Amino acid sequence: MSVSFRSNLHGMNGKTLNHFDVIIIGAGAAGLMCAITAGGRGRKVLVIDHANKVGKKILMSGGGRCNFTNVNTTPENFISHNPHFAKSALSRYTPWDFIALVEKHKIPYHEKKLGQLFCDRKSKDILNMLLSECEAVSTEVKTLCEVQDIKTGLPFRLETSHGQFTSESLVIATGGLSIPTMGATGFGYDLARSLGLKVWPTRAALVPFTLSKKQLEKLRDLSGISLDSITHSDGASFRENILFTHRGLSGPAILQISSYWKPGEPIEINLFPDENLKELLETARTNHPTMDLKNWMSTKLINRVAQRWCDLWLPNKQLAQLSNSDIELIVGKLQPWTIYPAGTEGYRTAEVTIGGVDTDEFSSKTMECKKVPGLYFIGEVLDVTGHLGGYNFQWAWASANAAGQYV
């Protein structure tokens, strides 16, 4: 789709223009929240989306139960080239503000772990809540509405598959590139570049790793097994489970570390996160001298993992026969296990996109573009990426609320 930005204010094809105070492109979490906030100020708001349904990523999030926020949200839970940018919006719209909205609609929810809040029933509860709030402030929502042309200046003028519209404020809430089957496109990045705004390189984040054919062959029998770990890469570490898959590695720890990993770099996985493995082995060598290493390992790890590690990398000896160098070798294969991913599964399964439109182009208070008055960017399209666990939704709510106060 080709979209142009122009600054002349001539009418398009002589058609009647429909005027709104605010037009929001993108009917996801950020777009709908911005509409609610702006509409609550008495603004006449139009939300448009090229997809056939609104909030598709809301519906599929959290395994269908929508991990809608995290009570532990702090700026440290976000990745950005400007780590200070998100502070203002996050401080002005907290998880407790969104929880109040959820409770107002009597949506049952629970904390799963680590501050992560989920719906008791289905993600649709959150989407219905947002749509109900939009309806209450008379927001108009149009789906299957393709943007064909945009002219900047005041007012903004949009040519779409539903006709022509003008507005005093234009909000870009088009998200990132993750999960293209849900309708994700590079629309927001393309618009930013058309205006001369800086866009940081993007890549898939919160995404499983793939392994080479040779690596997969070694680990082929472990698919489906989950293990507690501390996983580390590029200065970041996470204490969560890893999951062996038929394509490579997944699980919360892997998804988290994928946001920091760079191609060609290793990841380090401590499979004994609460133990000093060297001391354990030295004690076992004394207390259980006739026990085979493989059998001892099976008491400490899931049996199939213990068996495979011993078959591949560890000496098959009785514990009494282990030399100090044998113990060092064993520790080096488990604490940590170092592996070089072949890559990631990419945007196809990524939960978010890291990188995006440079936040230095915008006011952290209002989300307004410094170069184009009346233009706002919110949510995932900006270079702000949350950790796994509800943080990206909280950024959507907070950045949308910030913009909604000023559009």
Q: What is the pLDDT of residue 12?
A: 41
Q: What is the per-residue pLDDT for 7?
A: 40
Q: Please tell me whether the overall predicted TM-score, pTM, comes out greater than 0.95 for this model.
A: no
pLDDT at 334: 96
- One-letter amino acid for residue 301 of the chain: L
CATH number of 5-202+355-404: 3.50.50.60
At residue 195, what is the residue type?
A: L
Q: Per DSSP, what are the bridge partners of residue 404?
A: none
* pLDDT in the model for residue 92: 98
Q: What is the pLDDT of residues 365-380, one digit of tens each?
A: 999 999 999 999 999 9
Q: Do residues 269 and 339 make contact, with C-beta atoms less than 8 angstroms apart? A: yes
pLDDT tens digits, one per residue of 146-198: 999 999 988 999 999 999 999 999 999 999 999 999 889 999 999 999 999 99
What's the topology of domain 208-344? Elongation Factor Tu (Ef-tu); domain 3 (2.40.30)
Indicate the burial class of 228 (C-beta count within 10 angstroms; 0-12, 13-18, 19 or more).
middle
pLDDT of amino acid 17: 59
Residue 98: per-residue pLDDT: 98
Using 70 as the pLDDT threshold, list the residues of the chain that sit under it: 1-17
Taking a C-beta distance cutoff of 8 angstroms, is the pair 390, 68 a contact? yes
pLDDT at residue 316, as a whole number: 83
Q: Domain locations in the chain? A: 5-202+355-404, 208-344
Extract the tokens encoding 228.
Answer: 């507690």
Cis before 315 (ω within 30): no
pLDDT tens-digit series, residues 287-323: 999 999 999 999 999 999 999 999 999 988 999 999 9
- Tokens 């044998």: give the residue: 326
